[in-house]
Amino acid sequence: MHSPFLKALERGPLVADGAMGTLLHERGYPIALPPEQAVLDAPDLVRGVHEDYLNAGAEMIETDSFGANRVKLARFGLAARVREINLQAAKLARDAREICGSSAFVAGAIGPVGSAPLLTGDVAEHELTGIFREQVEALLEGGVDLFVFETFPSVAELRVAVATARAACDLPLVAQVNFQEDGQTLAGDSPAEAVRVLAAAGADVTGVNCGVGPQAALEIVRAMVRAGAGYVSAMPNAGQPRIVGGRAVYGAGVGYFSRVAAEMVSSGARVIGGCCGTRPEFVKAVREAVGRTTPAQPVAARREIPVARVTPVPREPAHPLAGEPHTLREKLAAGRFVISVEIDPPRGITPNKALEGAALCRDAGADAINIGDSPMARVRMSAIAFAALVQQRAGIETIIHCTTRDRNLMALQSDLIGAHALGVRNVIALTGDPPTLGQYARASGVWDVDSIGLIRILKRLNEGADWAGNSIGRPTDFFVACAANPTADDVELELRRVMEKVEAGADLLMTQPVYDPATVRRFFERLGPVHVPVLLGVLPLQSYRHAEFMHNEVPGIVVPEEVRERMRRAGDRGAAEGLVMARDFTLEMIDSCSGVYVMPSFGRYEVAAELVRNTRGTLTAERRA
């Protein structure tokens, strides 16, 4: 049967709705309860959300049944009510459609059972089939027009869900994968692999939702189109979230989201909607933007060309001349303008590319390498292990990020003592992103202490004792950094937190990426004299799109309008212009800070090395003059 939904896609793009769970919580539904329970105890609230999306122009709405499978409902004592909840979810969506006099499609929403259960071995495939069949049959009974399988972090689990539905009915199936920012799933599946596997399982539409913001979703759409996908869908989040008052707040604005949505349609997306953080006003703007956009035709898939890896040659650290400062602490004390470059550890066990990047920046004149601690709550190689590799093989000092998210008090101290034994002396104390912002639903944050408590732990170790006062023998010699954000939403709170960090013993302040010298100066004028050196964060922009992404999708970062406009005017010269602006900012701030730390985007270490080289060259020329 050729369904009305697929016929609609043949005619052009179709606009779906936005978030359900985050909107229910914003409207007062208790955050401690699952959104699916709202269909039973707050049906008017759920129906109202559907009506608002329909009135905004949604041509497809999803039932409030994403997590209504027996495994997830069991956590709330609702496992026996799977059929009831899914039936009611379908009924409320259909009621809203009737009330609004709409011809929109009602999609039965089904999410994963857990965090990649086939990979963890928690649930066997035949058990998964039974779980999905139970939900599929209830939604079919409720009268849905199609199914949307969404936010699956594993293509393997999504394949089972799609195959189960295909065996049960001939309705259209939309299969959406939860990719990470690097364009792959946790299991390493690419968009092309997802298209191949899901089409074979019976999916009519393949796509991306949740997990990423608009720009990352745009690239995934393009990759799926290149892979030969018939129809592609995209329902990204409204950027990356930040936690405010215990809740996730998404930063992408309506105008930005709808502009990128139009690009997705131009690139081949046929179903376009939103996920976490999107609201009816997003749908309205997308509907208006998409109405002016002509969808692209799918193009032939391109064959991936493997990239050869080169193993770096281990190098011994350069020996400084006698009397010259050679550690980060000594250089700062001597008044040297310090430059550090941030390099994230690899996602797997092969550190070659990152080590080559560290060596490249060392040769350009960098003083240290910053190493993240599973940033954005996504698994990477241990920061301590990678720091040891960098110091041994690239011969350059490191600054490790250490978060209190993943370790209790005992583990924090054990890891820090181990880091010291491996030669790591510089640590930036951070609280860390909540695990819920990453891809591990089961992971829980520890946070026995926050970043201020971690500073106190490091200082106690420097006194030769652990947190409980037990002697550790010889004291450690950590140089302790902390974070500061001059563009924080709540500047007063940020100022208080920074002062607490300094009072706890921080030796160095390191800021988030900043683009406006005036904003930095105002922040530190209000902070007052702190008598510790400051490194300013510098992140060279690559393009106008990158500038818009940083401003709209990355929590805590503000790219002023004039900077974004300058990148827009630069056009194809965006990368060069971004490098010029980063260099000019650095040189303008030389007298206002002790140094900078450079954050290259997309692993483009050559850009960071060029900025380091230009800055060092200018400083050397000025000294000679």
User: Domains in the chain, ordered, with CATH?
Assistant: 4-290 (3.20.20.330), 336-620 (3.20.20.220)
Determine the pLDDT at residue 340: 97
CA distance 226 to 303: 9
Determine the pLDDT at residue 440: 60
CA distance 165 to 167: 5
CB-based contacts of 412-418 (< 8 A; 24+ apart in sequence): 412/448, 412/449, 412/454, 412/457, 413/457, 413/461, 413/466, 413/467, 415/384, 416/457, 416/458, 416/461, 416/476, 416/478, 417/461, 417/472, 417/476, 418/384
Determine the pLDDT at residue 353: 86
Q: Is the dihedral of CA 72, 76, 77, 80 positive or negative?
A: negative
Q: What is the mean pLDDT of residues 563-588?
A: 94
444 and 432 in contact (C-beta within 8 Å)?
Answer: no
pLDDT at residue 525 above 50? yes
Tell if the pTM clears 0.85, that is, is over it. Answer: no
448 and 404 in contact (C-beta within 8 Å)?
Answer: yes
Q: What is the pLDDT of residues 323-374, one digit of tens each?
A: 578 899 999 999 999 999 999 898 888 898 899 999 999 999 999 999 998 7
Q: What is the mean pLDDT of residues 469-492?
A: 94
Q: What is the pLDDT of residues 133-181, one digit of tens each?
A: 999 999 999 999 999 999 999 999 999 999 999 999 999 999 999 998 8
Q: Which two tokens stand for residue 176?
A: 């959406």
Q: What is the mean pLDDT of residues 124-129?
A: 88
Confidence category of residue 304, pLDDT binned at 50, 70, 90? very low
Q: What is the pLDDT of residues 435-469, one digit of tens each?
A: 655 556 567 788 899 999 999 999 999 999 999 99
438 vs 614, residue with greater confidence: 614
Q: What is the mean pLDDT of residues 117-131?
A: 74
DSSP-assigned letter for residue 537: E
Determine the pLDDT at residue 117: 57
